[in-house]
Structure 1
């Protein structure tokens, strides 16, 4: 990274942005890498904090970096095979990049016994103790989706402390808690809203919903967490980009 040139016809923020962009493209800043702090970038490039923030804002709009509250900016993970509005990664980030206000309402932790479905997904005995937390996804003040997250009681307790109402699940798991998710098994199902689901999603009974079951695994193929994700069919689109 070189210092910005005040005599260049290119604006200072664009010079900072393009230098960081080149480092990301070359692999010098790899996916998941933490960028230098704003103060460090200010010193490296010889520019103001406002200039640095404008450069980072542009990179975020281009989905090249993502900001984690209280942690800094990170190079975005590779998008191959990931969903544009995935239930685990990118929901808040994508909606905010589009100019929406996206937040989550997080329930208190419940301690439950694994039923046969959860036990099979997480490779646990039936009735094994689990933690569960529910996150209701709200966009511009309107409920779009909610999900039940299941995992060990310790994991769920740690996740809730990391503000799941502001940060996407994979950001919390990978960056804050050190649980690298190597893969996720995702199962889609179209259903109609029951009275209970209709009440949760603020929609009519029998409305079309998308139900997604997601089990995430670490590098040893051990299940980390299971999610049951429910989304309003008139508010949610799941887009998958496969291949190169």
Structure 2
């Protein structure tokens, strides 16, 4: 993609990076740069506008903070979708199923998948006796190419024997539980608060340490009222909103 660059005013009191940022912002908001479009590289932008890569990098970083673009490591920068509403916190469909219903593309990277003893917190939440085992999962999830969630999940091993060996990359966990183990989620409780990421979380989600995340804790139940899943998710919310619907 080649932009016909306007001349930046080097006599202006506005710094070059801000002028360049404003050019890109206008083209993104006007639709000249379409959602999902891949942006030129820093070097290409520098050649087109006659500015240094440092100037380009500062402008792009500001657009990332504003949620107008996002970066994928090794692939470059892309125009982000406008603010999106996500309903998975108010449904029992699960994240993958809710995104699929909306025609969105979800990718899941499994960082950890193991059979282990339940932590005291997990045992309390899942109503497990001492010494019980769980299938522990840690997954990194993206939507339409944008990193969105880091999720730590625990499922009672007795309800899903062998789940720690199942292939879960790019699969819906709820679909696996339903199809392979007959565990259909019918109810969930969720708690939400805001946190700042630690260094590892910031690295995995590719965020700055100052960017707040929404922390979602969930406890899901099957038709018998038995707890099936406990998770804690850290959710990026710069380009999306969580939507909750209540009824009387």
TM-score range, shorter chain: 0.5 to 0.7
Q: For the residues of structure 1 that align with 2:145 and 2:197, how far apart are their CA atoms?
A: 21
Deviation track 1:174-217 (CA, whole Å, cap 9, x = no partner) reads: 34431122311111111111112212211111311011111111
Segments of 5+ residues of structure 2 without an aligned counterpart are: 1-85
Q: For the residues of structure 2 that align with 1:240 and 1:160, how far apart are their CA atoms?
A: 34
Deviation track 1:206-242 (CA, whole Å, cap 9, x = no partner) reads: 3110111111112232111111111112144221222
Q: Does 1:206 align with 2:204?
A: no
TM-score normalised to structure 2 length: 0.55
Q: Which residue of 1 aligns with 2:88?
A: 85
Q: For the residues of structure 1 that align with 2:108 and 2:116, how far apart are their CA atoms?
A: 22
Segments of 5+ residues of structure 1 without an aligned counterpart are: 1-82
| 1:178 alignment partner, one of 179, 182, 185 | 182
TM-score normalised to structure 1 length: 0.56
Cα distance change on mapping 1:125 and 1:94 into 2, 3 Å: closer
Deviation track 1:66-99 (CA, whole Å, cap 9, x = no partner) reads: xxxxxxxxxxxxxxxxx72349635335545655
| 1:161 alignment partner, one of 160, 166, 188 | 166
Check conservation: 1:194, 1:206, Cα contact below 8 A: no
Q: For the residues of structure 2 that align with 1:156 and 1:234, how far apart are their CA atoms?
A: 38
Q: Does 1:217 align with 2:200?
A: no
Cα distance change on mapping 1:217 and 1:164 into 2, 3 Å: farther
Give 1 or 2 for the bigger CA radius of gyration. Answer: 2
Q: For the residues of structure 2 that align with 1:202 and 1:212, how far apart are their CA atoms?
A: 19
Deviation track 1:112-144 (CA, whole Å, cap 9, x = no partner) reads: 332222111011245532220122111233311
Q: Which residue of 2 aligns with 1:65?
A: none
| Equivalence map 1:71-220=2 (5 Å) | 84-86=87-89, 89=93, 91-96=95-100, 100-126=104-130, 128-153=132-157, 155=160, 157-158=162-163, 161=166, 163=168, 165-167=170-172, 169-220=173-224
Q: For the residues of structure 2 that align with 1:95 and 1:161, how far apart are their CA atoms?
A: 22
